[in-house]
Each structure stands twice: as C-alpha cells, then as structure tokens.
C-alpha cells in the first residue's frame, strides 16, 4: 500500500513539473515579452530561446535590454520554474572599454549580418557616433543614433572609449558641405587620401591658407579645401531649417543613384534620401519609410493633397484591407510648386508630380498614396537634434 502511495506522489509531482515547464506556455510568455520590448527588431534586440534540459529550463540568446530578461526571469521564478540563465545582455564582454565607435569611411556600410554577403540595410557617414554592442574579428554589431542595429565591417569604424569620445566631441569639428569630393594627403591637393560626402565630419587640427589640416577618427591626417567645409559649431549656430532649405538640399541631389540601404550622396534609397535632406536641416530622422510614417504630425488625413506644405513627407505603398494591414514601401518629399510636385529616390533621385496633366505625373505613386507627415517645426521624441 505504501509503495502505491509513493508511486502516486511521484507521478503527480512529475506531472506538475511537466505542466510548469511546458515549452509551449513558456514560449507564449517569451513571445509576449519580445513583442513588448522589441516590437521592431531593427531598433531593439530580443533573441531569446527557451528549452528543457532535464528538469531545468535553459534560457539562451541575447538582448540589448536588461529589463527584458529580468522580466522573463521574474515571471518564471514566480511560477516556481527552475531555470538557468545563459542570456547575453548587450553590450557584452567582447566590447571591453571601447563601447563606442565613429564611422571612419565617407559612408560605412551596415549589414543585416556579420558578413560581406549579407544585405546592406543602412549606411552611416563619416564621423557618425555609434554604440558598440558586440565585437567580432571582422565585423561589429553597432547601434546608430536612430537606434538601428546592424553589423559593420571593422575597417569602416574606429573604436572609442567613453573618454576618447568626449575628447572628440569637445574638439573643433568640420562638416563637409559639398555633395561629394575628396580629402588629400598634401596641401597641393595632388594626392587623394579618401573621398568625402555631404554631412561627413572630421576633427580640425590646424587652419592653413587654403585648407584645413584634419584628423580622421582612426588618426589619419589629411587636408580638406576650405571651400568644401564649415566649422561644425558655426554651421549649427547659423543653421535655420526651412522649407526652402529642404527643397534646396533635395534638388541638389537630383540624379543621384538609387541604392537599397544607402543614406549617403554616393547612393540612397527613398528613406535614405529623406534622412540625408533632413540631416542637413539639423536633425536625425527614423531610418526606414515604415518607421518615418509614425513620426511627425499627420497632415492631409483625407488624402486630397490638401494642407500640404513644402518639405512634408509623402508615403506610398499598399493600402489596408479587411485581410491585411497597410504596408509602407516608399517615401518622398512634397514640393508643391503649383504642379503638385514631389521629389524622391526611385531608380534615381528625381522629380515627379501627383497632377495627372503633368508631364512628370507618376501613376504608381498617385494610386498608392497613403498620406503625409510634417517634420519641420514639429517636436517629436523620434527626432534627434544635432
């Protein structure tokens, strides 16, 4: 009788443990936390797996949010579930003291994975500050100012400690104000050091007669023509974002090639074009069109092209139906100019119109217009002022 009694107790205990450690129910919890802390994997990381190993639940993977893993562990502990925590919280130990980096090329390519064959997802231009999350031998996982998470070839960045970054920020910087150009190894401008693009920043070492002696993030010394740059602090002080300045910068990029993932004047996609134009108007925007549509102020709610002002962003894509959500795939900048003109990067940076009678009417954009947002003179936590 005692043997039967003990057998029933063991069976009941084992059944209870299996119920508590059910991968399905725990995965549901894990999925809900991922949705809570990282609904957009482009800007937040929650890649955590759960699996049973005997009577222990093992948590593995990585996240850039300490609160997320803490929340998961607290929920499991509250249910009396035994677990082993193997989750890496980023930045991880590989980073060491070099928790920051600066883009070291005119345009450094950021990819979806740590290999050259991975998709180009975005770019950062020279001097852009990055948060280092995980360092590898050839590639490093970084986060951009607009929180985009991606991998960059180590040759495209220079690593900085917090103190080194502060010293860089406190230095006199120069901003490149030409669409494209070069820096040089000599004051005669006869030997190119590297190419340059609009918005790139370097440290000023010395002012000379026709040039500035400059330092790149990795310590290289070069020279830039005085006419090609401005002192960054003075440029910021004199900068007055306006509809006219947006149009001016946008039109200065006409004919620039389309590049998926591009955000520089070497080549840019539609949202990268918007990002570049607004960067030169003093602030950093969200990266992708599907993110940009949630920032700023809603205008033209009825899709009648009413109330739009020069500089407003126009969004295009698939309209919502009863079976699927709206899908934003393209963005442009409204210019109006009496002909319902807008400028966008599609095949190249070009002008088109929403007016059917115009020679530059764009049928696809007219049929797939989703609405517009105003960024200029709007306060939004998604915007980062320079």
| Angstrom distance (rounded) from CA 72 to CA 250 | 46
The class level of CATH for 2-89 reads alpha beta
**pTM, entire model:** 0.91
Cβ distance 299 to 312 under 8 Å? yes
- Minimal CA–CA distance to 56: which of 26, 95, 94? 26
Q: Does the domain spanning 94-167 belong to CATH 3.50.50.60?
A: no
Do 94-167 and 171-238 have matching folds? yes
Strand, coil or helix: 244 = helix
- Minimal CA–CA distance to 42: which of 172, 124, 143? 143
Topology of the domain covering 243-385: endopeptidase fold (from Nostoc punctiforme) (3.90.1720)
The class level of CATH for 171-238 reads mainly beta
Cβ distance 155 to 51 under 8 Å? no
Cβ distance 336 to 314 under 8 Å? no
Longest dimension (CA), the chain: 103
- Size of the chain, expressed as the number of residues it contains: 386
Q: What phi, psi does 47 have (nearest 5°)?
A: -120, 75
What does pLDDT average to in each consecutive run of 10 residues of the chain (386 residues)? 40 40 84 97 97 89 97 94 94 97 98 97 98 97 98 98 98 98 98 98 98 98 98 97 98 98 97 98 97 97 96 97 95 97 98 98 98 96 94
Strand, coil or helix: 326 = coil
- For the chain, the first-to-last Cα distance in angstroms comes to 79
Domain-by-domain residue ranges, the chain?
A: 2-89, 94-167, 171-238, 243-385
């Amino acid at each position: 009788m005692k043997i039967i009694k003990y057998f029933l107790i063991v069976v009941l205990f084992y059944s209870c443990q299996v119920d508590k450690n059910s991968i399905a129910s725990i995965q549901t919890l894990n999925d809900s936390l991922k949705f809570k802390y990282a609904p957009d994997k482009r800007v937040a990381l929650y890649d955590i797996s759960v699996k049973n190993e005997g009577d222990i639940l093992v948590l593995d993977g990585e996240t850039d949010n300490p609160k997320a893993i803490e929340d998961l562990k607290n929920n499991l502990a509250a249910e009396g579930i035994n677990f082993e925590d193997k989750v890496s919280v980023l930045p991880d130990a590989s980073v060491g003291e070099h928790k920051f980096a600066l883009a070291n090329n005119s345009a450094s390519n950021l990819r979806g994975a740590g290999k050259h064959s991975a998709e180009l997802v975005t770019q950062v231009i020279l001097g852009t500050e990055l948060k280092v999350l995980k360092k590898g031998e050839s590639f490093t996982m970084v986060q951009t100012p607009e929180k985009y998470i991606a991998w960059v070839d180590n040759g495209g960045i220079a690593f900085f400690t917090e103190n080194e970054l502060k010293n860089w920020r406190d230095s006199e910087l120069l901003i490149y104000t030409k669409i494209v150009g070069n820096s040089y190894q000599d004051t005669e401008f006869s030997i190119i050091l590297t190419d340059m693009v609009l918005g790139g920043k370097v440290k000023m070492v010395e002012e000379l007669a026709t040039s500035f002696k400059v330092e790149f993030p990795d310590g290289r010394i070069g020279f830039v023509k005085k006419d090609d740059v401005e002192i960054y602090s003075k440029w910021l002080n004199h900068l007055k974002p306006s509809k006219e300045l947006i149009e001016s910068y946008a039109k200065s990029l006409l004919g620039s090639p389309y590049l998926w993932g591009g955000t520089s004047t070497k080549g840019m996609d539609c949202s990268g074009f918007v990002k570049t134009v607004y960067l030169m108007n003093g602030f950093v925007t969200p990266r992708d069109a599907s993110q940009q549509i949630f920032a700023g102020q809603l205008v033209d709610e009825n899709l009648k092209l009413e109330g739009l002002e020069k500089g407003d962003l126009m969004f295009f894509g698939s309209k919502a139906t009863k079976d699927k959500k709206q899908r934003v795939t393209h963005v442009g900048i409204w210019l109006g100019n009496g002909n319902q003109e807008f400028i966008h990067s599609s095949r190249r940076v070009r002008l088109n119109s929403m007016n059917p009678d115009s020679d530059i009417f764009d049928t696809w954009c007219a049929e797939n217009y989703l609405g517009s947002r105003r960024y200029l003179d709007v306060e939004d936590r998604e915007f980062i002022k320079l």
